Amino acid sequence: MKIDLTGRVALVTGSTRGIGREIAAMLAAAGARVAVSGRNADNAAEVASAIGADARGFACDIASSSSAAALVESVERDMGSVDILVNNAGITRDNLLMRLKDDDWDSVLNANLRGAFATIRAASRGMMKRRWGRIINITSVVGITGNKGQANYAASKAGLIGLTKSVAKELASRNILTNAVAPGFIETDMTAAMTNDERTELGAQIPLGRLGTAGDIAGVCVFLSSEYASYITGQVFVVDGGLVM
Ligand code: NAI
C-alpha cells in the first residue's frame, strides 16, 4: 500500500513550523504540490524550498477573512485548484475565565475558527466543480474535553468540530470529504514552554507513555488525503497516545 498524491494541490495553513510544516512535508513526499502558508512571506518561501521543488510559499494572516480568501485565490492562480485543504494554523491565549479579555477571545476565535471557515468557503468552490476534495481541520482533544484556562481555545476547537460535521454533510454529495484531527499533547513550539517535570507527569498519564510528534499527526492527514480514506467523512480522529478514551 503506497499513498500517491501526484497531481494533487494541497494547501496547509500555518505550515512554516510545527505540525503544519510536517503535514506539508509529508504531503509533498507523497507527491502533492504543496502551498506552504504563514504570516511571514520569507519564512513560507524558505520552508517551501526546503520541502520540495514543487512547493510554493504564500503569506497570509488567517485571522482576516479577506486575507484567507486571497490566500486561496493566489494558490489557485499560481498552482491550480486546491484539492486538499488542511486548516492547521492556530494560536492559544490562555487565561482563567475571569482574566480572559474580549481581545483574547476574538483573536483565538478568529485565527482558529473563522480562518478555517473562510478558507473552506473559498476552496470548496473549485472542489465542487471538480467533484473531488479533502478538507482536514486540525482541532484538539481539548475541543472535546474542555480545559481549565483555555475557554477561548477549547471553544474554537469545539467549533471546528461542528464546522467539520456541517461541511461534511453539506459537501458529501460532491465527493468532498471533511474530517477533523484532534491531537493530544504534541512536541512543538506550542508545548515547548512546559517544564521537564510537567512533561514527565503528563507522559505518565498517557497510555503510550510519551508526548506525540508532528509526524504522528501528519501521517493521519496524509491517510485522510488519500484514496484509502474515500469512505470517511465528518469524523474526528483523536491522535493522543490514548489520553482521551
Ligand atoms: P505552532 O505554534 O508551532 O504553529 C502554528 C502555526 O500557525 C505557525 O506556523 C504560525 O505561524 C501559524 N499561525 C498562527 N496564527 C496565524 C495566523 N493568524 N495566520 C497565519 N498563520 C498563523 O503550533 P503547533 O503546535 O504546530 O499547532 C498546530 C495546530 O495544531 C494548531 O491549530 C494547534 O491548535 C493544534 N494543536 C496542537 C497541539 C500541540 O500539542 N502542539 C495539541 C492540539 C492541537
Q: Is the CB of 57 under 6 A from ligand 1?
A: no
pLDDT at 135: 99
Q: What is the atom index within ligand 1 of the atom nearest the CA of 62?
A: 19
pTM of the model: 0.98
pLDDT at 27: 98
CA 177 to ligand 1 centroid distance, Å: 22
CA 90 to ligand 1 centroid distance, Å: 4
pLDDT at 189: 84
Burial class for 129, CB neighbours closer than 10 Å (0-12, 13-18, 19+): exposed
177-209 pLDDT, tens digit per residue, is: 999 999 999 998 877 888 888 888 888 999 999
**Contacts of residue 63, Cβ cutoff 8 Å, sequence gap at least 6:** 107, 110, 111, 114, 115
| Ligand 1 atom 32: residue of nearest CA | 90
CB-facing half-sphere around the CA of 133: CA atoms within 13 A: 29
Give the residue from 23, 167, 169, 8 showing the smallest Cα distance to 90.
Answer: 23
- A 10 A CB-CB count for 88 gives 26
Integer Cα distance of 167 and 216 in angstroms: 25
| Ligand 1 atom 33: residue of nearest CA | 90
Q: What is the atom index within ligand 1 of the atom nearest the CA of 157?
A: 34
> 133 forms bridges with which residues in the sheet?
176
Q: Is the CB of 63 under 6 A from ligand 1?
A: yes
Q: What is the atom index within ligand 1 of the atom nearest the CA of 61?
A: 19
152-163 pLDDT, tens digit per residue, is: 999 999 999 999
Integer Cα distance of 1 and 235 in angstroms: 23
- Average pLDDT of the chain? 97
Is residue 132 left, alpha or beta, with left meaning phi > 0 and alpha meaning psi from -120 to 50?
A: beta
Q: Which residue has the cell 511571514?
A: 40
CA 91 to ligand 1 centroid distance, Å: 6
Burial class for 175, CB neighbours closer than 10 Å (0-12, 13-18, 19+): middle
Q: Which of 61, 66, 188 to mutate to test ligand 1, by most ligand atoms within 8 A of the CB atom?
A: 188
Active site residue ranges: 153
Average pLDDT (48-55) is 96
